[in-house]
Amino acid sequence: MSNLVVITFDNTEEAGKVRDALRQAQKRGALSLDDSAVVVKDAEGKIHVKGEVDRGVKIGAIGGGLLGLLLGSIFFPFAGIIVGALGGAAVGALADLGISKKFVKQVGDELQPNTSALFLIIRQDSDPDMVLAILRPYKGKVYQTSLDTEAADNLREVLSKRIGVPAQESEGADEAG
């Protein structure tokens, strides 16, 4: 089972920085993301969505490719792989295991200019303490979540204040200010 978390930020860069930090933790095995997307509303009010292919589409494509290989190996092996992978990706997309594009658009429409939002679908096997530690240097607001009350409150508390400075921002920071 997975949880949806949507966090908004008061600038256009923060959501992307948080997603990058979470991706690094995912590569180390500290958490598992099924899907993520960054929505940025620029100064002119134009919405930019930077998303990932969700896990459901990836699994569908791989599973479909293997099934196509198995079934198509008798007749046309290469065509079987291609047809199977395309069919599997379609099945994964139809299963709608990722973030709804309609919901992303709705949140994007509600953002103020020069702000951003981060959409995450985090699997429950992720370490909640690790996720909170990654989020600690960032300041944002929980827009929506399917987390239980205690976990959501912990997330809100961590995001309500910036504790420390992300590594990218600390380099070259002006110490006089």
176, part of any domain: no
Domain range holding 119?
2-52+100-170
Cα(60)–Cα(90) distance, rounded to whole angstroms?
7
Q: How many domains does the chain have?
A: 2
Q: Which tokens belong to 60?
A: 């569908």
Q: Could you tell me if 43 and 121 lie in one domain?
A: yes
- Mean pLDDT value across the chain: 74
Report the phi/psi class of residue 96: left, alpha or beta, with left for phi > 0 and alpha for psi in -120 to 50. Answer: left
Residues 48 and 60 in one domain: no
**What is the pLDDT confidence band of residue 12, given thresholds at 50, 70 and 90?**
very high
**Does any domain span residue 33?**
yes
Q: What is the pLDDT of residues 141-168, one digit of tens each?
A: 999 888 889 988 999 999 988 766 554 4
CA-wise closest residue to 39 among 61, 7, 79, 80: 7
Tell me: pLDDT of 10 over 90: yes
Single out the residue in 40, 73, 94 at which a domain terminates.
94
pLDDT band at 73 (very low <50, low <70, confident <90, very high): low
Q: For 116-139, how does the pLDDT look when each residue is reduced to its tens digit (9 = 90+)?
A: 999 888 888 888 888 888 999 999
